[in-house]
Structures are given as structure tokens and as C-alpha cells.
Amino acid sequence: MNEYDFVKENLKRILFEVGEAKAKYRSSDEKIEVMAVTKTVAPEIVNIAIENGITLLGENRVQEYLGKRDSYDKSARVDFIGHLQTNKVKYIIDSISVIQSVDSLRLAEEINRQSEKIGRVTDVYVEVNIGGEESKSGILPEETEEFIHKMSEYSNIRVCGMMTIPPKTDIEKNFSKMRQLFIDIRGKNIDNNNVCVLSMGMSADYTAAIKHGSNLVRIGSGLFGARKYMEG
Ligand SMILES: *Cc1c(COP(=O)(O)O)cnc(C)c1O
């Protein structure tokens, strides 16, 4: 036994459960991506997840990410999923694959500006505050369509999906509401955008999220164990 075998075991269990939920609720041609959320986890442990099949990492904090990124196995893509301050976009723009947490026009504008500077078109997801919670960032559900319309003006960003962290209560109701919003918006084929990823579900609720249409689940503690310090 190796001291990090628990990551391998957890991943095996998660992939099995994702497969079961998919078989039960979804069609066989759909793909569901499993992201490893790395906050507070040492890069050598993250790399064990990559060695065992993880191809997507999720980062919450710019500072922590910058300190760890050179140690990550380069075969995995890295998305940003945390609240992103406008003045920090420039530090991550060249190495992040998708920014999943676009929650304001100001942030979108800055991602567009920094992307233009380095000559890339950055894929982003709109973070939706599906429960309309005061304490949470994200675009309100009723404002999401208009927000994505505005994104069409930015030629260096492309909206490819929607992300949410639902309230802790009424989880399935909120997942279901999110799926409906996703379907409605995807059906509108808004210019220059191709909304096809629904990023929802974490360690406690990923099978329910898959039941309700998620095609990207973000797993932290279920894979790496409980985090040792408070999240900021
Ligand atoms: C921490 C975090 C997760 C993972 O949470 P777990 O409950 O540990 O699986 C997923 N998404 C976001 C945005 C997070 O910040």
C-alpha cells in the first residue's frame, strides 16, 4: 500500500458512480467530464489523480494556482472555478483553459481585453446564482440570457457553458431549474456563443446533478479527502 492509494480508490468509486448515474439517467452518447478540484491539495497528490485518469483540474484561488501550476502533470487541462478579481485575470489568462466563473460584465470585459492582448479567444462559462442567494456571486437566472447576449460583443471570449453552485437546500429543485435554463438558452443559439457545457454537481451531489443534466461534475473532498483549512 502506498500512502496516496486513497486517491486511486476514491477516483475508482467516483468514476463507477458517474457511470452508473449516466447509465440510469442519460443517453449512451453523452459525455460527462469529471473535474478534480484541487484547492488545498498538494500538487503531488493532484498528479496521482491525473495518473489515474483525471484530465481536468479546477482552481479556486489565483495565488495558490500560480504556486502549484508548474508542478502539475501537463497532461491535464486546468479551468478556473473560483471568484476571480478583475485585476488578477492577467496572471492566469495564458495558462487557464476555461474560466467557469464569469459573474459580471466587468470581469468579462477584462478577460476579453487580456485575451486580445495575447491573441487568444478564451472559452468561458457564465456562473449562475440559481438560488438567487444574496451571499453568492453569479448572474441571476432571469438575467442570464441578456448577459450572454452582451457577451457576443466581445470577440475574444466565447460562452461555452453555464456553471452553478446551488443552495444547500432544495438541491434537486435547483438542479432541475438550472437544466431548464440551460436548455432554454442553448436553444436560442446566441451569436458567437455555443453553450454546451452544464457544470454542476460536487462531492455531495454529483449523481443528482447528472440526473438533472450536468455534463461536468466538480469533485474536491470526495476525491482528495476533507480539506484541512477553511475556504476563503
Ligand atoms: C470546492 C469547490 C468544489 C468541490 O467541492 P467538494 O464539495 O469538495 O467536492 C466544486 N466547485 C467549486 C466552485 C468549488 O469551490
Residue 7 Cβ inside 6 Å of ligand 1? The answer reads no
3-state helix, strand, coil in the chain (%, to 5): 40, 20, 40
The pLDDT of 18-31, averaged and rounded, is 96
Between the CA of residue 46 and those of 33, 125, 129, 222, what are the distances in Å? 17, 24, 29, 13
Nearest ligand 1 atom to alpha carbon 39:
1
Which of 202, 206, 224, 228 to mutate for ligand 1's pocket (most ligand atoms within 8 Å of CB)?
Answer: 202
Atom 1 of ligand 1, nearest CA residue: 220
Listed in sequence order, the DSSP H helices in the chain are: 5-25, 43-51, 62-68, 89-92, 105-117, 141-151, 171-187, 206-211, 221-224
Question: pLDDT tens digit string along 129-167?
Answer: 999 999 999 999 999 999 999 999 999 999 999 999 999
Give the C-alpha separation, 126 to 163, whole Å: 6
CB–CB of 166/131 below 8 Å?
A: yes
Give the C-alpha separation, 180 to 175, whole Å: 9
Rounded distance from Cα 60 to ligand 1 centre (Å): 9
In the block, residue with C-alpha cell 458567437: 192
Question: pLDDT tens digit string along 177-216?
Answer: 999 999 999 998 877 678 999 999 999 999 999 999 999 9
First-to-final CA distance of the chain = 34
Nearest ligand 1 atom to alpha carbon 219:
9
Rounded distance from Cα 220 to ligand 1 centre (Å): 5
202 phi-psi bin (left φ>0, alpha ψ -120 to 50, beta other): beta
Give the C-alpha separation, 214 to 169, whole Å: 18
Kindly report the average pLDDT of the chain as a whole number. Answer: 95
Rounded distance from Cα 190 to ligand 1 centre (Å): 29
Residue 165 Cβ inside 6 Å of ligand 1? The answer reads yes
Residue 81 Cβ inside 6 Å of ligand 1? The answer reads yes
